[in-house]
Amino acid sequence: MAPIKNICCIGAGYVGGPTCAVIAYKCHDIKVTICDINAQRIEAWMSDKLPIYEPGLDEVVFSRRGKNLFFSTDVDKHIQEADLIFVSVNTPTKKKGLGAGMAADLAYVEAATRRIAQVSTSSKIVVEKSTVPCRTAESMRAILEANCTANVKFDILSNPEFLAEGTAISDLFNPDRVLIGSLQTESGKIAQQTLADVYANWIPRENIITTNLWSSELSKLAANALLAQRISSINALSAVCEATGADVDEVAYACGRDTRIGSKFLKASVGFGGSCFQKDILNLVYLSSQLNLPEVAEYWKQVYTMNEYQKNRFTRNIISTLFNTITNKKIAVLGFAFKKDTGDTRESAAITLIKSFMEENARVAIYDPKVDAEQIYMDLTEPGVVDNRKQVEKCIEICGSAYEAAKDADALVVVTEWDEFRQLDYNLIYKDMHKPAFVFDGRLMLDAPKLRDIGFKVHVIGKNPLEGRA
Ligand code: NAD
């Protein structure tokens, strides 16, 4: 097969945008066009303020845009021109119907696949980049074959994306591995090698793994399930630590030094967020139950349940510590994004926490360095509930700094681990807060002994609140 010259990416989101921008950055001979039906998003990709925040992304996009990197809403035209198409559309959890709250909604993948079949006038490699349930490629193949014009052939590959938001560009420059699954036919294997050749422009061949289609699809769900499982495991232990006087950081360190366990992803916290972990775990739970494997489904479901428990446990601890009522008290929430170095708020723990605070009639002041006020209002408003937006606006205040949020607050709650929260002048913050001034560290990132010396009452997940006083 001839080398790839023209790539179209359908979906200009957190995955399609950075992934294909990096391909353009690393492969100047390939024309890359990233398409989306969302005109506002495409406009932003073509402007000075990109629609997503990722360290290093601006440089990558600005250096290749208009040269071999393009953005467009004309999906059909770029499908037609491409010899390889990435399908990188959203696959959210289904909201209603069969499998609601569990299964992946594949409507966007299907719509994109149908479009490819309908408008293609030449043969193409179609690559599943979106995270999908195992055997989705089979449905895509059926749709493509039933709807294509004569003499047009499609090879389907699975090439799941393992980037993490916040470190997307360095992950894409230097991935632990790239995974490409194909049908084990002659033409499938040739297509697999053709995509491998694209990545080989900057990734060592030994880091490009080739498997069958179904292993590749399942590996993505499995990787996210295993990562989320580590977080839920250490979070479960954090509850035991609080009850016994053990320190979860010390336990994680001691366990992580065992090379069989390893130290990464063993940080206790208020719970995982983001668009992927919860969705993909639930997707695996649904897949397992559909395959009539109820014990397997129950096993993975517990990872999700533990995450919900951790968020609720943190909230309950805040309310009980604040003398069992937060009515009319001001709670300063530091961080709204689901993790540092991203503006993405999908499934952020902050949303669950703040909604609980609002239900208890607290006043909530929020500061996040990268999340827009409008996004915060949208995330906290229940869609379709009359006047809900106005009620939200009454309860919350969006602040331009941590200092503004903390002024006259009863409690400071750290939800996102932004580095700048370590550098704040806590003497100043203490002076401006109501007394007793409480700090709840949901990320185990602040210097608790120092804060206690200032006068704060400090609660850290996985640590006894009386730590340092015994
Ligand atoms: P996203 O919502 O940010 O982007 C998806 C984009 O696809 C949207 O802009 C949407 O308008 C567009 N789209 C939907 N249907 C379309 C169509 N028919 N034609 C053109 N555009 C269309 O989602 P995302 O975070 O980029 O995730 C995409 C996929 O990648 C998901 O399956 C996700 O699970 C997976 N994934 C995400 C991450 C991550 O960190 N966000 C990491 C790995 C994998």
Written as one string, the DSSP assignment of 440-460 is EETTS-S-HHHHHHHT-EEEE
CB distance 357 to 331 below 8 Å = yes
Residue with tokens 């940080």: 267
At residue 116, the pLDDT reads 97
20 is an active site residue: no
Q: Closest Cα to atom 29, ligand 1: which residue? A: 130
Tokens of 296: 């397997």
Q: What is the pLDDT of residue 149?
A: 87
Q: Report which DSSP code applies to 366.
A: E
Cα–Cα distance for residue pair 198/188, rounded to 1 Å? 16
The alpha carbon of 468 and the centre of ligand 1 are apart by a number of angstroms equal to: 47
Taking the CB of residue 400, how many other CB atoms lie within 10 A of it? Answer: 10
CATH fold of 277-460, please? Answer: Rossmann fold (3.40.50)
Domain 6-203 superfamily per CATH: NAD(P)-binding Rossmann-like Domain (3.40.50.720)
Ligand 1 mean position, distance from CA 151 (Å): 30
Q: What is the ipTM of this complex?
A: 0.99
Give the mean pLDDT per block of 10 residues along the chain (470 residues). 96 98 98 98 98 97 98 98 98 94 96 97 97 95 92 96 97 98 97 98 98 97 98 98 96 98 97 96 97 98 98 98 98 98 97 97 98 96 86 95 98 98 98 98 97 97 70
- 267 closest CA partner among 461, 40, 57: 461
Contacts 24+ apart (CB under 8 A), 204-211: 207/175, 207/176, 207/177, 207/178, 208/177, 208/178, 208/180, 209/177, 209/178, 209/179, 209/180, 210/180, 210/181, 210/182, 211/179, 211/180, 211/181
Q: Is the dihedral of CA 348, 167, 440, 313 positive or negative?
A: positive
Predicted confidence at residue 433, as pLDDT, reads 98
Nearest atom, ligand 1, residue 16 CA = 26
Domain ranges of the chain: 6-203, 277-460
Q: What is the DSSP letter of 149?
A: P
Q: Which ligand 1 atom minimizes the distance to the CA of 276?
A: 34
Taking the centre of ligand 1 as the mean of its atom positions, its distance from the CA of residue 131, in whole angstroms, is: 9
Q: What is the pLDDT of residue 470?
A: 37
Nearest CA to ligand 1 atom 25: 14
Q: Which atom of ligand 1 is nearest to the CA of 279?
A: 34
Taking the centre of ligand 1 as the mean of its atom positions, its distance from the CA of residue 90, in whole angstroms, is 3
Q: What is the pLDDT of residue 360?
A: 97
CA–centroid distance, 12 to ligand 1, in Å, is 7
Q: Report the atom number in ligand 1 closest to the C-alpha of 89.
A: 7
Dist. CA 252–CA 198, nearest whole Å: 39
**C-alpha distance from residue 106 to each of 90, 131, 145, 162, 271 (Å):** 8, 10, 18, 20, 27
The residue whose CB lies within 8 Å of the most ligand 1 atoms, and thus the one to mutate among 22, 36, 128, is 36
Q: Quick one: pLDDT at residue 383?
A: 84
Shortest-distance Cα residue to atom 1 of ligand 1: 13
Let me know if the fold of 6-203 is the same as that of 277-460.
yes
Ligand 1, CB cutoff 6 Å, lining residues: 10-16, 35-38, 41, 75, 88-91, 108, 111-112, 130-131, 161, 163, 165, 275-276
